[in-house]
Amino acid sequence: MKAVILMLGMMAVTMTDAHAFGSARSSAVDAAPTPVPTTPVVVTPPNTDVGTGGLRVVINSAKNFNDTQAAHLEASRDLLERIVNSEEFKQRVLHFSYQGQETFVQNNGLSNLQVYNKILEAAEQLPSPTEANRVIDLSVQLYTSSYFGRNVVGYTSPDTPTIYMNTYFYNGATPGESASNMMHEWMHKLGFDHDYNSTARRPYSVPYAIGDIVDQMGN
């Protein structure tokens, strides 16, 4: 009898462990949990030179644009594609420096070359991981902010592919400025972040720095 009880106890432990490691996810799906953003998959790009360019910039969706705004969006897309495929863009990324060292702030542990290669791979991680395909996939939507939101040029969030662009800035922007805004927000889709508040180091974060490079080259 003791042997039978011991065996049943071992089976219970085994079943509990199996549930913890394997079945919890499927059980949670059955219970219809509140959706949460997908955690970015950490993919380390090569730390070797894999070439220059070969990127396409594609607008997958554009909402709330009139004809004039849509023409500006296409000009911005075309400019961004030409910039990110240029040797100048590559060299600016490779030699970007912070406090005397060639590095970005909040770089996810990547060298400048790896940051550049991650851009080339264009494997968006948010809202869900995608394969490397050298396509900068953009979904954009114009919105009109309240008076108190006019200091925000644009934004995105981890649970959506959409980049929201503020008409208050967009309608008076140059193609270079809009390209810069889209590139900044797209860097978040690659898994890069920056300080929420304005700090001394924030301009050197990957989204801000890459966006600024595009802005400088496009204007």
What is the tally of structural domains in the chain?
A: 1
- Listed in sequence order, the DSSP H helices in 95-158 are 112-121
For helices 175-189 and 67-84, give the axis angle rounded to 10 degrees. 70
Whole-model pTM above 0.95? no
The pLDDT tens digits of the residues spanning 34-89 come to 344 444 455 678 888 878 889 999 999 999 999 999 999 999 999 999 999 999 99
123-180 pLDDT tens trace: 999 999 999 999 999 999 999 988 777 789 999 999 999 999 999 999 999 999 999 9
Does residue 38 lie in a domain region?
no
Alpha helices in the chain (DSSP H): 2-18, 24-30, 67-84, 87-94, 112-121, 167-170, 175-189, 206-218
CB 165 within 8 Å of CB 141: yes
CATH number at residue 112: 3.40.390
Give the position of tokens 């554009």: 62
Residue 164: which domain range?
A: 56-218
Confidence (pLDDT) at 107: 98
Sign of CA dihedral 73, 79, 85, 91: negative
